[in-house]
Amino acid sequence: MRTRLALAAAAVGAAALAMPSALAAPAPATLDGKKVKVLKLVADAPRQSNDASPATDAATGYDRYQCEAPRCAVVPFVYKPAKGVKADIAMSLTWASTASDFDLYLMQIDKTGRTKLFNCGGSAGNSEKIFIPAGSLKAGKTYAMLVDFYRTPGEKVTAQLEMPGKDATAKTVPANVDDLALVNCTR
């Protein structure tokens, strides 16, 4: 009798291993600019403050863009422009409270992890924008829009990535200054 129970348990275990996991992440969307033009994230960012993290991050070698929930939200996608599509990408992030500080990133994802390509990490306002010109990304590669919930009393954020996209970033601060202050990408 014990042998049958053991064999039955082994069969159930083997069947469970063969079934796809209910927790497995779905395959990333393919952003082609024709069938899929917009990827959107609406998230309830939990109350948090990571103001102390720059000091500890520097000491430990941790990069903010390696974050996971509940610190951030990540929307992966495969960049594969359809024939005839202007492949510029526009990313935007909005929220209500000017007391909050969210940061927007475009990451490349590969077998070694995430690599930061573009970001807007302004500390004032309630929106951020990034424009990625055609030719900056490689077709067929996996990327991700990442939103870091750096500081918030807890609120809803909306992020959007669209292709083809229009450059809506400000041009009020010279580029060499903006690279340090991240002013043009915030409002």
**Which residues span the domain enclosing 152?**
28-181
Report if residue 131 sits inside a domain.
Answer: yes
Report if residue 19 sits inside a domain.
Answer: no
- Tens digit of each residue's pLDDT (9 = 90 or more) over 103-119: 999 999 999 999 999 99
Residue 146 is predicted with a pLDDT of: 96
**Over the Cα atoms of the chain, what is R_g?**
21
Report if residue 172 sits inside a domain.
Answer: yes
Which CATH number fits the domain that encloses residue 114? 2.60.120.380
Distance CA 34, CA 8 (A): 50
- Tens digit of each residue's pLDDT (9 = 90 or more) over 1-20: 444 433 333 333 443 344 44
Report if residue 141 sits inside a domain.
Answer: yes
Report if residue 8 sits inside a domain.
Answer: no
Number of domains in the chain: 1
Residue 16 is predicted with a pLDDT of: 39
Q: Are β-strands 127-132 and 48-49 bridged in parallel, bridged antiparallel, or unpaired?
A: unpaired
Residue 10 is predicted with a pLDDT of: 39
Report if residue 101 sits inside a domain.
Answer: yes
Nearest CA-CA partner of 106 in 87, 125, 126, 120: 120
Report if residue 127 sits inside a domain.
Answer: yes
Distance CA 139, CA 67 (A): 25
Residue 175 is predicted with a pLDDT of: 58
Report if residue 76 sits inside a domain.
Answer: yes
* Residues in the chain, pLDDT under 70: 1-25, 172-184, 187
